[in-house]
Chain A
Amino acid sequence: MAGLELLSDQGYRVDGRKPTELRKIQARMGVFAQADGSAYIEQGNTKALAVVYGPHEIRGSRSKCLHDRAVLNCQYSMATFSTAERKRRPHGDRKSSEMTLHLKQTFEAAILTQLYPRSQIDIYVQILQADGGNYSACVNAATLAVVDAGIPLRDYVCACSAGFVEDTPLVDLSHVEESSGGTQLSLALLPKAEHLALVEMDARLHQDHLEGLMDAATRACKDLHAVLDRVVREHLQEVS
């Protein structure tokens, strides 16, 4: 959108944040009693809910059964009221299929699936309010839900989005910043060893700026990791 400057001269963004500042994060684990694991996260105005079932026996076709690993079944959906305009989102459309694939890929790298051969783990994520950073919110919520379910993970999976405006990397993009059509990088990181479970980038960026952008996103993921870790420890203290 022309005329809306994403970065002011004083270095403030549209919602008053500094370029390297994350939005306010609030998270809750164990929201549903009947699911094996569940979590709810709010990143600014983006609200995501994740539910995990498993590991259990493979449902449906036996042919998908893997003899040495667990199969991961992910589903991503957006509520019809999640965006500014109410739109019915059929499950089979390309964008949500793509998101599903990305979620599956991310968690296949992080969950120790070798411990559960011939079984299935389900991860369902629902976006209740979409204000930018949908993928990141999903991944963060799913991480908390998997921890809540007690499924062993290699490390926390922290995801964050980053953009590039006027030679400055912006972290944790909101919907306004995303739809302006600039560069957008989504990163899913395992913080301890700095392993990237998923790298996804759209729109043009000169090669020289790539390193700076990835560094900014990595730092943001590490900050996010600190927040998620605190949430988990508080939850455990409450429960025990």
Chain B
Amino acid sequence: MRETPLSNCERQFLVQAIAEKKRLDGRQTFDYRNVKITFGTDYGCCIVDLGKTRVLAQISCELVAPKMNRPTEGILFFNLELSQMASPAFEPGRQSELVVKLNRLLERCLRNSKCIDTESLCVVSGEKVWQIRVDLHLLNHDGNIMDAASIAAITALCHFRRPDVSIQGEDVTVYTPEEQDPIPLSIHHMPICVSFSFFQQGTYLLVDPSEREERVMDGLLVIAMNKHREICTIQSSGGIMLLKDQVLRCSKIASVKVTEISELIQKALENDKKVRKEGGKFGFAESMPNQRITAYKMEVAPVDTGDIGKKTEDLIYNSEPPSEFIPSPVVCAPGTGQIGEGLQNSWGLEENEDGEEAEAEDQAMEEELQTMDVKVKSVKKEDPITLSDSEEEDVVILEPKTMKKKVNVQASSTAASKKKKKKPVH
């Protein structure tokens, strides 16, 4: 399905935030998201998390006949797939531009830079060589697929062990992992891609764009380097115009980032090696943290209930009585008073009920309270109208004060008549 288009206000918001050097997740302009590398139980399988972007890499090998023009070299095959679970925009079948772009960039980064010694993959020249197949699957798309994929690919390649082979004259024996320990691939260097996104025709630059930032960017520059400060690939995409200085500056930033990430990869590989050697548990299942509630128990919090009786008394004594709800007539024209909107006024009913409730509450309380409530009730019945200046009034009387008296009389008469009406209903 088509992905939800980005609204104009969201786009403007993002661009303006970037102009003020602010990013949605609070990073600085040259900060990477958290990189997490976990290995599976088999050799050559790893998952890389770059923030929320997640890529799975799996290496496999088999013996095949070599290419005609390169009889002594092994074959490297890369395949990056955008799985449908990564984003609703990815559809099965059709090979989109993005897939082609990513795959080609990955191939150039890893194959053309000769990071793996392909001569060592040769078994019998001209007849049998190892074909190493790198399969990458994007599991979640939150921006910057290229970086995550390159980290996953090179880490998996470093982690992979191929079966041992021995040649005696004409016979070639391939040992299974049980017979002989599998041997690692010979890797010269580790190229890692760093992505730079450009905004506002090249004025602003961000490292490691997230998915939202990718949608509003003008163009992308990918630089693949290794930790020896050798550039393996540069690729600019999108319709932007770059200047030479920008490219050089990006390469300097990239060298710093690549060193950091290379260290991280090395550490992850060493940790995994250590765990496997010590016989500990390893694999994806172990690396996911257990988030389960083993016991639901709350501590007993002590509550002091000694003087609760007195406290409640004080509270009720000091609290204000429920506000009087006095029918306040609206003066539409001089000499007239309007209560309600022409329908039967139910205020008298409510007032009485309130009084009753108050009575019920009283019985549970102390005597002082009862008397107070009775006072309230009496006030209500004998002098129902007090066009007071209290805060409860929300009706503005527009007429000058002299008219008030008239209104009072009328209101009181109407109120009194209503009271009389209500009584038989009880």
Interface contact A206-B229, CB-CB below 8 Å: yes
> In this complex, which of A185, A194, A197, A202 has the most chain B Cβ atoms within 10 angstroms of its Cβ?
A202
Chain B residue numbers with a CB within 8 Å of A203 are: 112-114, 232
Residue of B whose beta carbon sits closest to that of A205: B231
With A202-B112, A204-B230 already in contact, the answer to whether A196 and B251 are too (CB < 8 A) is no
Chain B residue numbers with a CB within 8 Å of A200 are: 234-236
With A97-B100, A101-B101, A211-B248 already in contact, the answer to whether A199 and B234 are too (CB < 8 A) is yes
Chain A residue numbers with a CB within 8 Å of B107 are: 94
CA gap between A195 and B221 in the complex, in Å: 14
Interface contact B243-A199, CB-CB below 8 Å: no
Residue of A whose beta carbon sits closest to that of B223: A201
Chain B residue numbers with a CB within 8 Å of A34 are: none
The dominant DSSP class at the B interface is: mixed
Chain B residue numbers with a CB within 8 Å of A194 are: 243-244
Interface contact B103-A214, CB-CB below 8 Å: no
Interface contact B235-A94, CB-CB below 8 Å: no
Which bucket holds chain B's interface residue count?
35 or more
With A198-B236, A203-B113, A204-B113 already in contact, the answer to whether A210 and B241 are too (CB < 8 A) is no
Chain B residues 101 to 146 lying within 8 A of chain A, measured CB to CB, are: 101, 103-104, 107-108, 112-114
Chain B residue numbers with a CB within 8 Å of A193 are: 241
CA gap between A197 and B237 in the complex, in Å: 9
CB distance from A104 to the nearest CB of B (A): 9
Interface contact A214-B247, CB-CB below 8 Å: yes
CA gap between A97 and B96 in the complex, in Å: 10
Interface contact B242-A94, CB-CB below 8 Å: no
CA gap between A181 and B235 in the complex, in Å: 18
Chain B residue numbers with a CB within 8 Å of A92 are: 95
Chain B residue numbers with a CB within 8 Å of A101 are: 97, 100-101, 237
> In this complex, which of A95, A194, A203 has the most chain B Cβ atoms within 10 angstroms of its Cβ?
A203
Chain A residue numbers with a CB within 8 Å of B234 are: 185, 199-201
CB distance from A5 to the nearest CB of B (A): 20
Chain A residue numbers with a CB within 8 Å of B242 are: 195-196, 199
Interface contact A196-B243, CB-CB below 8 Å: yes
With A94-B100, A97-B100, A109-B241 already in contact, the answer to whether A199 and B112 are too (CB < 8 A) is no
With A101-B97, A197-B241 already in contact, the answer to whether A204 and B232 are too (CB < 8 A) is yes
Interface contact A205-B230, CB-CB below 8 Å: yes
Chain A residue numbers with a CB within 8 Å of B239 are: 105, 108-109, 197
Cβ-based interface call for A237 (8 A):
no
CB distance from A67 to the nearest CB of B (A): 13
Chain A residue numbers with a CB within 8 Å of B233 are: 201-202
Interface contact A190-B230, CB-CB below 8 Å: no
Contact partner of A210 (CB less than 8 A), chosen from B104, B112, B240, B248, is B248
Interface contact B244-A206, CB-CB below 8 Å: no
Interface contact B247-A207, CB-CB below 8 Å: no
Chain B residue numbers with a CB within 8 Å of A105 are: 236-239
Interface contact B104-A98, CB-CB below 8 Å: yes
Chain B residue numbers with a CB within 8 Å of A218 are: 244
CA gap between A218 and B245 in the complex, in Å: 13
CA gap between A204 and B225 in the complex, in Å: 8
Residue of B whose beta carbon sits closest to that of A108: B239
Cβ-based interface call for B38 (8 A):
no
Interface contact B112-A196, CB-CB below 8 Å: no
Residue of B whose beta carbon sits closest to that of A154: B241
Contact partner of B114 (CB less than 8 A), chosen from A190, A195, A204, is A204
Interface contact B100-A196, CB-CB below 8 Å: no
CA gap between A211 and B244 in the complex, in Å: 8
CB distance from A89 to the nearest CB of B (A): 15
Chain B residue numbers with a CB within 8 Å of A197 are: 239, 241
Cβ-based interface call for B155 (8 A):
no
With A98-B104, A101-B101, A204-B114 already in contact, the answer to whether A210 and B231 are too (CB < 8 A) is yes
Chain A residue numbers with a CB within 8 Å of B238 are: 105
Residue of A whose beta carbon sits closest to that of B95: A92
With A203-B112, A204-B114 already in contact, the answer to whether A196 and B230 are too (CB < 8 A) is no
CA gap between A95 and B101 in the complex, in Å: 10
Interface contact A196-B241, CB-CB below 8 Å: yes
**3 pairs of A and B residues whose beta carbons are closest in the complex:** A195-B241, A108-B239, A201-B234
Residues of chain A whose beta carbon lies under 8 Å from any beta carbon of chain B: 92, 94-95, 97-98, 101, 105, 108-109, 181, 185, 190, 193-208, 210-211, 214-215, 218
A-B contact pairs, 9 of them (CB 8 A): A94-B103, A98-B100, A105-B237, A196-B236, A196-B247, A199-B235, A204-B114, A204-B232, A218-B244
Residues of chain B whose beta carbon lies under 8 Å from any beta carbon of chain A: 95, 97, 100-101, 103-104, 107-108, 112-114, 221, 225-226, 228-244, 247-248, 251-252, 255
Sample of 8 more A-B contacts, CB < 8 Å, known A101-B101, A214-B247:
A193-B241, A196-B241, A198-B236, A199-B234, A199-B235, A201-B235, A204-B114, A208-B229
